[in-house]
Every structure is written in structure tokens, then in C-alpha cells.
Structure 1
Amino acid sequence: MSTVEESIDVEVPVRVVYDQWATFEDFPQFMEGVEEVRQLDEHHAHWRTKIAGLAREFDTEIVERVPEERVAWRTTGESVKHTGTVDFEPLGTTRTRVTMTMAFQPTGFAEKAADKLGVLDRQVRGDLRRFKRFVEGRDAGTDPQSASESG
């Protein structure tokens, strides 16, 4: 299993950052390759992704949720295997450090090759940068659509 950990500091209070992250339906606006996330109930979501031309659908289960501190999940079923956590650390009253840790079990030649090339690391880093622009734009009352652009 491959693991990646990335952090980013955002100029937004921890409560705003946590609340935005917990709004899973917004993930396609800042997560590259995520086409849809549909909240099924308090602890489950259905994902539709297309990464490097590979379309996947899978379900996740929230295994830990501590408001303003942490969200942890794992996939359910057999098709996609990964777990993750996002930790939120207040850095004063208007700044937050977001740390994402993901463990992923690549299957098949393409996923194993992408893993060796560091694709997941770059994707997580890019998703966090886009999340930063997205949440800072939201907090400032600007149009969040411009934050969803790649970068």
C-alpha cells in the first residue's frame, strides 16, 4: 500500500475550513478527476471519478469525524482500496493547517506505474492547492468557480 501526506496552510478560520471540507458534494469543484460525490447518509458517500482516463465508482465510509479537527474515511467494497484522513490544525484565529494523508492500494499495471511515478502525490498536492483557493475565495465572498481551475 502506498501512502502520501501533504499539508497546506489556508488563510481561513478552522471552523470554516472544516465545514467546507465536510461538504463532500463540493469536492468536484477542487478535486481533479472527481466528477461527483453524493452523500448517501451521515457516514457514507458514493464517488464517481475519472483519473487518467480510468473511470471508477466506489463508496466510502466516514470512520471518524471530529468537528474542526479530523475527518477519516475508508472505501467499502472491493473495486477501490484506500483510506485517508484530513486533519485541521488552527494556526491562530484566522489561519488553518490542512494535512491530508492517504493510503492507496494500486491494482493493475496502469495504477502501479502511476504510483511509481508519484501521480498520487502530485494529485493530492494539487487538490490541496485548489482547495486553498476554493475555501479562501468562499470565505472572502468571491466567486468560488475561479478557485476550481487547475493549478
Structure 2
Amino acid sequence: MSGVTEHVDVSVPIRTAYDQWTQFEEFPHFMEGVQEVRQLTDTKTHWTVEIAGVKREFDAEITEQLPDERVAWRSTGGTQQAGVVTFHRLDEANTRVTLQLEFEPHGVVEQAGDKLGVVDRRAKGDLERFKQFIERRGQETGAWRGSVDRPQP
């Protein structure tokens, strides 16, 4: 497995940043290569992505969600990936959003891209575009404030 950690500071309150992140169907607006995310249930999503000309579809499940703190997920078939986004209050009007992503690159193109730091740059770019998206709007497009407890081993 490979991994990447990136963060961005956004000029919105923590609740606004968190609430926007829970709007998965909006991800194509700021995530490169994400063509569509469909929310199937409170904890299940279906993704359509295109990376380096390769189109993939996979399902993911939210494994933990704590309002204004974190959203964790893992893929449930096909593409192997897992991640967590955490939200840290810097002050009343500023929030640090940190993304940690683990993934299994498949095929020569993805393995080469991983070695060249393509995923790191994409994650950094996605967070920068999230910053622009939420700061331009000044408010979230929606919210899901429910909690998902981490499964116990």
C-alpha cells in the first residue's frame, strides 16, 4: 500500500468545512478525475473516476464519522483505498483540513504515477480546489450531521 498526507487551511468555520465535506456528490467540483459520486445510503457511496485515461467504478463505505472532527472510509470492492479527513479548528473563522489516503496502485501506469508523486500532487490540488470552492461560496451546499461509530474488531 502507498500513502499520502496533505492539508490545507480554509477561511471558513470548522462546521462549514466539515458540512461541505459530507456532501460527497459535490466532489467532482473540486476533485480531479472524480466524474461522479452517488450517495447510496448514509454510509455507502458509489464512485466513478478516471485516472490517466483509465475509468474505474467502485463502492466505498464510511467507517467512522464524527461531526466537525473526522470522516473515514474504505473501498469495498475493486480499487483498494482507505482514508480519513480530519478537521482542526484554528480559530472561529479558520479550519485546517487534513487528508490521509492509503491506496494500492494497480498496473504499470498507476505504479509509475505513484513513484513520480502524481497522487501526492493530485491530493494537494484537490484540497486547494476544495479551499477555493468553499471560500468562494462562504457556506456549505448541504450537511449531514450524523455519526458513524468505528467498527469494533
TM-score normalized by the length of structure 1: 0.91
Partner of 1:113: helix, strand, or coil?
Answer: helix
Structure 2 segments unaligned to the other structure (5+ residues): 141-153
Partner of 1:91: helix, strand, or coil?
Answer: strand
Distance in 2 between residues matched to 1:70 and 1:59, nearest whole Å = 20
Distance in 1 between residues matched to 2:85 and 2:34, nearest whole Å = 17
**Mapping of 1:1-151 within 5 angstroms?**
1-77=1-77, 79-139=78-138
| Shift, 1:140, TM fit | 6.6
Distance in 2 between residues matched to 1:52 and 1:106, nearest whole Å = 12
Give the letter for the 1:132 counterpart.
K
Give the letter for the 2:65 counterpart.
R
State, as a whole percentage, how many aligned pairs show the same letter: 55
Residue 148 of structure 1 corresponds to none
Aligned partners of 2:16 and 2:139 also within 8 Å: no
| Shift, 1:138, TM fit | 1.2
Deviation readout 1:51-99 (Å, 9 max, x if unpaired): 110100000000000000000000001x200000000000111000000
Aligned partners of 2:12 and 2:95 also within 8 Å: yes
Structure 1 segments unaligned to the other structure (5+ residues): 142-151
Distance in 1 between residues matched to 2:62 and 2:13, nearest whole Å = 23
Give the letter for the 1:67 counterpart.
P
Distance in 1 between residues matched to 2:94 and 2:18, nearest whole Å = 12
**Which of structure 1's runs of 4+ aligned residues deviate more than 3 A?**
none
TM-score normalized by the length of structure 2: 0.90
